[in-house]
Chains A and B, each alone.
Chain A
Amino acid sequence: MRTPGLLVLLVLVALAPLPLLVHSDFWLHFAIMTLYFGLLGQAWNLLGGYGGQRSFGHAAFFGTGAYAAAVLQVDFGVNPWACLVLAGLFGAAAGAVVGALSFRYGLRGSYFALVTLAFAEVFRIVADTVPFTGAGVGFQIPLKQAVANFQFHDKPGFYAVILALTALATALAWWIENSRFGAELVAVRENEDAARALGIDVNRTKLWAIVLSGALSGFAGSFYAQYFLYLDPRIAYGVEVSVTALLVPLIGGVGTVFGPLIGAVALRALNEVSGVITGGAPGLNLMLYGALLIVILAFVPDGLVSLGARLRASRPLGKLGHA
């Protein structure tokens, strides 16, 4: 079922004036992190949801974008906003490398998942060794709050940026649902061999998907770097980013436009609730995420976004025989 473009537009426009209504730093941070999760999840969704190529190593693209943005602005004096764009390019390049190798050698399903995990780890180890990333010392972006520096004095500025990026990602997902490329991508997901028989260049389609996915992940990496001002190999390339990237769409609904956003809200809300109950003990929120994943896989395999449709479908038949 295609998502109407108008609906997408309405949702994004409705989110825009949030900072005018909410002044609490705490809630703005919640909104920012939710949109950030949404961006990361949408990136994964392009490749894993619409494309069916489920990667366990999206951190490889995220981290490359993050380091690119950080190193270029601190060591080479590149304007931080330009670094945002460059981060997308670097993320896309990382996607191209991983994709070219994996797809060329026909890796699919579990093998693809595992090889992406391995790539992310290789990147992490390299980042942990080479000097320009700061290696084990980590990389800090000096505090220089100014709009020109992509460092805002308060949260609304960051909110605007992440909303714009997530809107871009969401628009991209909508475009995939309505374009020829998207149709080919879904065909590849459903049955690779049949798609090939239909004349679709399977490898090139998958490659484009991973490149777009990598670019969006790179943007997310750049945003992270600007918001938190600190990176190290574990933050950039660690398992936590990769797992978050796949949890968000899987829980919200893979292969849908709003799935990643819904998943992001669900996970961040769960995070806050578990924090209140336990006082922020480490591990609890991720544990709940894992439990939620299994519950979703067992009972709502199409994700939370499908709950609405299922509830409607389960209502008794109306007058004319349809729900």
Chain B
Amino acid sequence: MLQLQILLPAILNGLATGAVYALVALGLTLIYGVLHIVNFAHGSLLMLALYGVYFLYNLLGIDPYLALPIMVPAMFVLGYALQRTVIATASHGREENILLVTLGLSIIIDNLALYLWSADTRTINPSYAFETVDFGIAFIAVPKVVSFAGALVITGLLWLLIQRTDLGKAIRALARERQGAQLVGIDVEHIYAMSFGIGIACLGAAACLLLPSYYAHPGVGESFVVIAFTIVVLGGMGSFAGALVGGFVIGLTESLGGLFLGENLGKIGVFVIFIAILLFRPTGLFGQRA
């Protein structure tokens, strides 16, 4: 029953999806690590990005991978604007309200999408969508292979940004010590918004990599928000390495869960892990103990 013939492709598929999940979670963990915001709208914004890639393909004929230089900056700008205008003002800085404000945002975005574009699932059909790469023991769809590689590359770039640039230094300083950062002249509001923007820009990249093997639908946000949070909590809030490892773990859980428990029950694995982590080890695998 546990033939390698079906187990190996399932594992490879899970790792490929996991890499993209990691990219989604990276944005979330950055936002939490710096702003201490539990961004409930993260899934909805990913959904928006997926629609963006969909329309770029359908209306302008732009291949999703070629849409990266459009989507990433666009989502960055959206994120920056949201933090600077809506989130910062509506929450009055109260942490308990930030979650609610981002919840409100997610409700608005999800239902705006439903209203504008209806609940039909939107898929794109580029020529390579159903082609496979023959790995000997498994055929893996081309889009999955590309998304795996792409996610790793972008994660690397993000790491470089945070570790090797002045902006990254400012972000790290602010994350560690807000008042100190202010004292050395860092424009707190601006850097906050930059961090949020970068976190959302990750979603733009993830959407480009994801759409060829996935779909756009107003409800996608809801599914992703829990997956993203599970990975972030599993990996430890604010930890990059954690988000990466967590992403792979969750991708594998989803794929193997579906294989062994069926398409309906298989989805339970992620939530069970989420609850278990929250209850027993809320700081996650790589997080600092509070």
Contact = CB atoms under 8 A, between A and B. Distances in A.
Interface in B230-278: 233, 262, 264-265, 267-268, 271-272, 274-275, 278
Given A250-B100, A282-B114, A297-B97, A287 B268 contact: no
A117 to B, nearest CB: 7
B119 A282 contact: yes
A125 B267 contact: yes
Interface in B1-58: 38
Nearest to A292: B104
Given A118-B274, A122-B275, A291-B108, A109 B96 contact: yes
B157 to A, nearest CB: 29
Of B91, B113, B268, chain A has the most CB atoms within 10 Å of the CB of: B268
A122 B266 CA distance: 11
A13 interface: no
Contacts, number: 118
B90 A282 contact: no
A115 B91 CA distance: 22
B278 A297 contact: no
User: How large, as a class, is the contact surface on chain A?
Assistant: 35 or more
Contacts of B265: 125-126, 128-129
B100 A283 contact: no
Contact of A239 (B92, B222, B282): B222
B88 to A, nearest CB: 11
Interface in A42-60: 54, 56
A283 B114 contact: yes
Interface string A60-101: 000000000000000000000000000000000000000001
A286 B96 CA distance: 22
A135 interface: yes
A227 interface: no
B196 interface: no
Q: Binding site of B, secondary structure by majority: helix, strand, loop or mixed? A: helix
B76 to A, nearest CB: 22
Contact of A114 (B91, B113, B218, B229): B229
Q: Binding site of A, secondary structure by majority: helix, strand, loop or mixed? A: helix
Contact of B111 (A129, A290, A297): A290
Given A129-B265, A297-B90, A119 B107 contact: no
Contacts of B114: 282-283, 286-287
A243 B225 CA distance: 15
A118 B278 contact: yes
A291 B86 CA distance: 11
Contacts of B113: 283
A187 to B, nearest CB: 17
Contacts of B267: 125
A115 B103 contact: no
Contacts of A11: none
B102 to A, nearest CB: 10
B140 interface: no
A5 B81 CA distance: 47
Contact of B97 (A239, A284, A301): A301
A239 B262 CA distance: 23
Contact of B115 (A114, A119, A283): A283
A126 B267 CA distance: 10
Interface in A263-322: 281-287, 289-291, 293-294, 297-298, 301
A118 B282 CA distance: 14
A281 B278 contact: no
A107 B278 contact: yes
Contacts of A282: 114-115, 118-119
Interface string B79-94: 0000000100111100
B272 A293 contact: no
A119 B118 contact: no
Contacts of B89: 298
B215 to A, nearest CB: 18
Contact of A293 (B107, B112, B271): B107
A178 interface: no
Contacts of B103: 56, 243, 293
A298 B115 CA distance: 25
B279 A113 contact: no
Contact of A126 (B108, B112, B268, B278): B268
Given A115-B275, A121-B271, A287-B108, 11 more contacts: A54-B99, A109-B96, A111-B278, A126-B268, A128-B265, A129-B265, A136-B264, A282-B114, A286-B107, A290-B104, A290-B108
The 9 closest A-B CB pairs, nearest first, are A283-B114, A290-B107, A287-B111, A283-B115, A290-B108, A283-B111, A293-B104, A298-B90, A286-B111
Interface of A: 54, 56, 101-102, 105, 107, 109-111, 113-115, 117-119, 121-122, 125-126, 128-129, 135-136, 239, 243, 250, 281-287, 289-291, 293-294, 297-298, 301
18 contacts: A101-B279, A107-B282, A111-B282, A125-B264, A125-B267, A128-B265, A243-B107, A284-B115, A287-B108, A287-B114, A290-B104, A290-B108, A293-B100, A293-B107, A294-B104, A297-B97, A298-B89, A298-B92
Interface of B: 38, 86, 89-92, 95-97, 99-101, 103-108, 110-115, 118-119, 218, 222, 226, 229, 233, 262, 264-265, 267-268, 271-272, 274-275, 278-280, 282
